[in-house]
Chain A
């Protein structure tokens, strides 16, 4: 069966460090992969989209990689700040739908 796994439920890091979140999938061949941020009591907010023929995408302090051989995407936040604390969701585009992972709760400690 198809499965999406995000590396851990919670990740704590020190301010200024780089946070790395992992999204692994099985039995999918997604054309696109998206990352969203969700704050408590709010809906997910789109951050980045990466296509299967792209290895890397950057936006300000954010970087996403997509390895279709490993079936894995990595999401990096450089120079992390307490304001980056949130839950981050990966989502795979497959059969005209988005399927979401369970998310990783990131806490950036001051």
Chain B
């Protein structure tokens, strides 16, 4: 069974450009999570969805960040306009709705904003 698939794996772009990160969760999972990982702040939850509906976006740093989940098999995280401080590794994870289930992570997108 395929795991969580993220694309692109690496993204280098200039400040001010729009960045779109993509995620395909594991089939059958109904919760999806976006995280950001940096050396300074570790792994931080940005937003999560249950059954394609955003439940908690309190971790989204500012209005430049937005996330969508148009269907059960696809989600995007968009940054517009991007800034150098957005440079980080962004992870997507999925799980079943039940609280005691583990989360399955993709291998992340390493984003560098110049």
* A→B interface (CB under 8 Å): 31-32, 34, 41-46, 49, 51, 89, 93, 96-103
Contact = CB atoms under 8 A, between A and B. Distances in A.
Q: What secondary structure prevails in chain A residues at the interface with B?
A: strand
Interface residues of B, number: 20
Contact of B102 (A34, A43, A103): A34
- Which among A34, A46, A93, A103 has the highest number of chain B CB atoms within 10 Å? A46
A100 to B, nearest CB: 4
Contacts of A34: 102
A43 B108 contact: yes
Give the dominant DSSP class at B's interface.
strand
Interface of B: 4, 33, 42-45, 48, 55-56, 91, 93, 99-100, 102-108
A61 B104 CA distance: 22
B43 A44 contact: yes
Contacts of B99: 31-32, 93, 96
